Amino acid sequence: MHSGTSLTVLSEEEQLLQSTVRRFAAETVAPLVRPMEEAAQYAPGLLEKLAELGLLAIEVPEEYGGAAGSFFESILAVEALAEVDPAVALIVDIQNTLSVNALLRWGTPEQHRHWLPQMAAGMLCSYALSEAGSGSDAFAMESRAERTADGYRLHGRKLWISNAREAGLFLVFANLDPAAGYRGISAFLVPKGTPGLTVGRLEHKMGICASSTCEVLLDDCHVPADALLGEEGKGYRIAIEVLNEGRIGIGAQLLGLAGGAWKHAARYAQQRRQFGRAIAEFQAVQFELAEMATQIEAARLMVYNAARRKDAGLPFVTEAAMTKYFVSQVAESVASRCVEIFGGNGFVRDYPAEKYFRDSKIGKIYEGTSNMQLMTIARQLLADPIAP
């Protein structure tokens, strides 16, 4: 499919990264997709291979073992992986757009020296924000933090935490001062194995099945004072700003998903024969593929634009919300049409179409539902007298 760089031409370094990750996805990830899907877990050694390629610390400085790349390069990597498996792309997305970003921006030099080399070497950090009663209303969380003589004690139950089974570190949000409302929320770096932290039940999901989604239990979990990320009461700001960037990452994941589904649909349409010719020769199928490609091109421009704005230090909150909202629609639409082009074969697991369709649905839900994106867009635009 057309590479779609009419918004912004990729530099030589960006093109090299994109081609390298696409080759890795095709040669290393593709053979593992179905086994990982059926086992509902990542293949042994996959994290190490992602780390060797530098994909778990794209923006981390070289002195800590990272690639010293840009946010846009993280987006390119997520997109390229998602073309083959959105579940594997989610590892790179969460690690870079959420975890590394939070640590780079709010971590102390000591926290950088301690955690970033480990993350670059393959340790995943899981983002533990959501709870049973605080999904879209994330700051209604009931998890609590209490000061102790030498640190903090954490109590609570987190739900729907991605990569929890594989994580070696958890970025946990808990309220240190409930009377202050969301201004009491603080963020803590909690290593796996800390007494009182338990990874609980694994969720059995519709899609992205290889990615673990678990509850994380905090029962009198004691952490030292230097586990605090940023300042006390600033957790809400960390969560908001990181999620604004993370939505661009989810847009990249869904963009890659749509691109992968299109490629499979186009290939199948050229191979499948009915009435004596390939179904790609029928105008109805050609129009389907053309409309899908047009949607993907529009989505790519939105993802790339939002990422470039972030790297340039320009306002991007509205663009990120628009990207998450629009690209999630495109991914679901393209994946659904892919199933239809495959016909009966699109409905069975012997072919890739049904997995893309199942994987696409979460795009409208996690890291901010579509309704929450629309709310953000409306508020941002109405606050600007000259928008859009």
Please state, rounded to an integer, the average pLDDT across all residues of the chain.
Answer: 95
Burial 115-135 (b: 16+ CB within 10 A, else e): bbbbbbbbbbbbbbbbbeebb
- Ordered by start, the domain boundaries in the chain are 12-123, 126-233, 236-382
pLDDT band (50, 70, 90) for residue 5: very low
Tokens of 298: 């529009």
**What topology does CATH give the domain 12-123?**
Butyryl-Coa Dehydrogenase, subunit A; domain 1 (1.10.540)
Residue 66 pLDDT > 60, yes or no? yes
Query: Crossing angle, helix 317-342 and helix 283-311, to 10 degrees?
Result: 160
Residue 3 pLDDT > 80, yes or no? no
Q: What percent of the chain has pLDDT over 70?
A: 97
The confidence score (pLDDT) of residue 1 equals 46
Cα 238 from Cα 241, distance rounded (Å): 5
DSSP 8-state assignment for residue 11: P
Cα 230 from Cα 330, distance rounded (Å): 37
Q: How many CA atoms lie within 13 A of 16 on its CB side?
A: 5
Partners of residue 146 on adjacent β-strands: 153
**What topology does CATH give the domain 126-233?**
Butyryl-CoA Dehydrogenase, subunit A; domain 2 (2.40.110)
Tokens of 339: 């199933």
Per residue in 30-50, pLDDT (tens digit) is: 999 999 999 999 999 999 999
pLDDT band (50, 70, 90) for residue 9: confident
367 catalytic, yes or no? yes
Per residue in 251-296, pLDDT (tens digit) is: 999 999 999 999 999 999 999 999 999 999 999 999 999 999 999 9
The confidence score (pLDDT) of residue 209 equals 97
What are the angstrom distances between the C-alpha of 79 and each of 74, 201, 320, 354, 381? 9, 29, 16, 19, 28
Q: Residue 189, SS3?
A: strand
The confidence score (pLDDT) of residue 134 equals 83
Residue 2 pLDDT > 50, yes or no? no
Q: Please give the model's pTM, rounded to 2 decimal places.
A: 0.95
Q: Which CATH class is domain 236-382?
A: mainly alpha
For residue 385, the one-letter residue type is P
Range 223-227 average pLDDT: 98
Q: What percent of the chain has pLDDT over 90?
A: 94
What are the angstrom distances between the C-alpha of 289 and each of 39, 305, 341? 32, 24, 9
| CB 186, CB 232: distance < 8 Å | yes
DSSP string, 220-267: EEEEEGGGEESSTT-HHHHHHHHHHHHHHHHHHHHHHHHHHHHHHHHH
DSSP 8-state assignment for residue 43: P
Q: Which residues contact 297 (CB under 8 A, 6 or more apart)?
A: 2, 4, 6
The distance from CA 314 to its chain's CA centroid, rounded to whole angstroms, is 22
Which is catalytic among the residues 14, 332, 354, 367? 367
pLDDT band (50, 70, 90) for residue 385: low
Q: Tell the residue number behind the tokens 């999630």, with chain if given.
A: 328
Among 6-10, 19-23, 233-237, 328-332, whose mean pLDDT is lowest? 6-10
Per residue in 363-378, pLDDT (tens digit) is: 999 999 999 999 999 9
